Amino acid sequence: MSFRELKIAGAWEYTPRQFGDDRGVFFEWFKSSAFQEVTGRPLDLQQANCSVSAAGVLRGIHFTDTPPGQAKYVTCTKGAFLDVIVDLRVGSPTFGQWDSVLIDDVDRRAVYLSEGLGHAILSLEDNSTVMYLCSIEYTPSLDRDLNPLDAELAIDWPTHARDGSALSYQLSDKDKSAPTLAHALKAGFLPRFDNRYTGSPVG
């Protein structure tokens, strides 16, 4: 297994080692000891989610008021998604920047994002399935959204599905009406970089 830190501090890509034969494939999609060695913290699992999406479904940008914030460990069990992490932490050196990872049922990567980071996914194939491990339970009063098509963020969303067909983005009404980064900054509800989780000694 291998971890790669993304350009957004507090986010990592995990690529598992797969073992396959004529019966199928086995791999570890999460391992606590390896996770803690890289991130310097445990993942306190409080909720696990599963979401199935048609090609073109765009979910996010979602984040949670910080503190307490919600950390996520995300993988794709079927199909493919572009997974996008956005730095929404005011005062961060990479504030307003984003990074992305292709998560699919081929390389079977996972993505971890710390509290205070925004998250969005775009399905690249019908019936694509994503699984989330979450550090706190979903709490509507803490839930926040930004528009994933915000021109200021300029996220480079794919225009074609995995099979080469053109994508037509499908957003929920909530995500369509979500504020831009500029509006959220002015309203004062973005996370602060100095409230981020800094980890704890491991070992």
62 among known catalytic residues? yes
**Active-site choice (14, 62, 73, 197):** 62
**Active-site choice (14, 73, 132, 197):** 132
Residue 1: the pLDDT is 80
Mean pLDDT of 173-195: 96
State the pairing for strand pair 11-15/2-5: antiparallel
Is the Cα torsion angle 178, 180, 186, 190 positive or negative in sign?
positive
Q: Are 67 and 191 in contact (CB under 8 A)?
A: no
Residue 200: the pLDDT is 41
73 among known catalytic residues? no
CA distances from 102 to 15, 46, 65, 115 (A): 11, 25, 26, 21
How does the average pLDDT of the chain come out, rounded?
95
- H/E run at residue 72: strand 72-78
Q: Which of 81, 67, 75 is nearest to 35 (CA)?
A: 75
Q: Which of 70, 78, 80 is nearest to 101 (CA)?
A: 80
DSSP annotation of 36: H
Q: Which of 90, 132, 87 is nearest to 110 (CA)?
A: 132
> Is 166's pLDDT higher than 80?
yes
Mean pLDDT of 108-132: 98
Residue 110: the pLDDT is 98
Domains of the chain in sequence order: 2-192 (2.60.120.10)
pLDDT band at 197 (very low <50, low <70, confident <90, very high): low
> Is 111's pLDDT higher than 50?
yes
